[in-house]
Structure 1
Amino acid sequence: MTTTEHDVQASFKEVMASVATPVSIVTAIAGGLPYGTTVSAFASLSMNPPMVLVCLDRGSETLELIRESGRFGLNILGAHQAATALSFAKKGGVGKFHGTRWDLDNDLPRIPNSPGWLACTVADLVDGGDHVIALGNVDSAELTDSSPLVYHGRLFGTHAPHDS
């Protein structure tokens, strides 16, 4: 990598750290065991049909299970779930659920008390550099009333309304 490429990459990393993003855990299931990983690159894609996109590291074990099953769950985390987000951000698969309660919802692992839940069927997997973008058709969606967990400046936090 040239100095210029390294400089752009370092600057890009700093710029992206300044963008507040939602924190979610993407889940899949294999052999009756839950797998999951924390992601901050997730967004709504389409309303008709309802679709989302989520970006997963190419080396993700959860991504491999999503490829095989064609399905994934998206647990949109609340402000009270920072420790869970950190636990699921580690490398490795099934062991991440040790100590974390989960239920099956639409045959996918769902973490209770998460403010948002989406069950998705993969519409497409698209290469994106060192990540893969999973495009998902939303089969089920549920929202509870809770403050969201966001990631900004390499720290977890939450959203606070602006006083006008």
Structure 2
Amino acid sequence: MTSPATQDFTAEFRDVMASVCTPVTVVTALDGARPHGTTVSAFASLSVSPPMVLVALDRGSDLLAAVREYGRFGINVLGRGHSDLALTFARKGTDKFDGIGWTLSEGVPRIDGVPGWVACSVAELVDGGDHVVVLGHVEHADRTDQPPLTYHRRTFGTHSAGQE
């Protein structure tokens, strides 16, 4: 059983992390012919040479199982106006792609209309508590000029350069 001090620390830790503005992405992979995807805010650039990124996926997720099996994943970087898309992919279930436009690009599902896209092959899987950190070699990247969707204080928003 968790001690009261640990429970208080966990709540405080969550509050501190909620105050950090994070990007919102939908990480995707194929399981056979069926697309999988989940909303992820634990995403970051890792290296420019070679180009690498990292994402953290829940240890028990179907998406992680597909990434492990097929060794490929896509990162759909969401933009302004995509909060409904983020909520759709944040829920549980196998029907998240119902009614969502997507194409197979570089071997992984690419959601139509997202402003940023990165296709990766798995470089390494690293244990990280209740998540697994997936290190990916970037094999393809595209972007458009659209403000990103961000998550801050448990609310979706956007960021515009030059605003303080």
Q: TM-score, normalised by structure 2?
A: 0.96
Shift of 1:6: 1.0
Structure 1 residues without counterparts, runs of 5 or longer: none
Shift of 1:145: 1.1
Structure 2 residues without counterparts, runs of 5 or longer: none
Shift of 1:157: 0.2
Within 5 Å, give how 1:1-164 maps onto structure 2: 1-93=2-94, 95-163=95-163
Shift of 1:92: 2.1
Deviating above 6 A after TM superposition, structure 1's stretches of 4 or more consecutive aligned residues are none
Q: Percent identity?
A: 56
Counterpart contact for 2:76–2:114, Cα < 8 Å: yes
Cα deviation code 1:66-105 (max 9, x no counterpart): 0000110000001111100000000123x10001000011
**Secondary structure at 2:82's aligned position in 1?**
helix
Q: Give, as a single letter, the amino acid of the residue that structure 2 aligns with 1:121.
A: S
Shift of 1:163: 4.8
Find the aligned partners of 2:70 and 2:151 in 1 and give their Cα distance.
29
Q: Give, as a single letter, the amino acid of the residue that structure 1 aligns with 2:97.
A: F
| Aligned residue pair count | 163
Q: CA RMSD in A?
A: 1.0
Q: TM-score, normalised by structure 1?
A: 0.96
Find the aligned partners of 1:133 and 1:30 in 2 and give their Cα distance.
19
Cα deviation code 1:9-35 (max 9, x no counterpart): 110000000000000000001221111
**Secondary structure at 2:99's aligned position in 1?**
coil
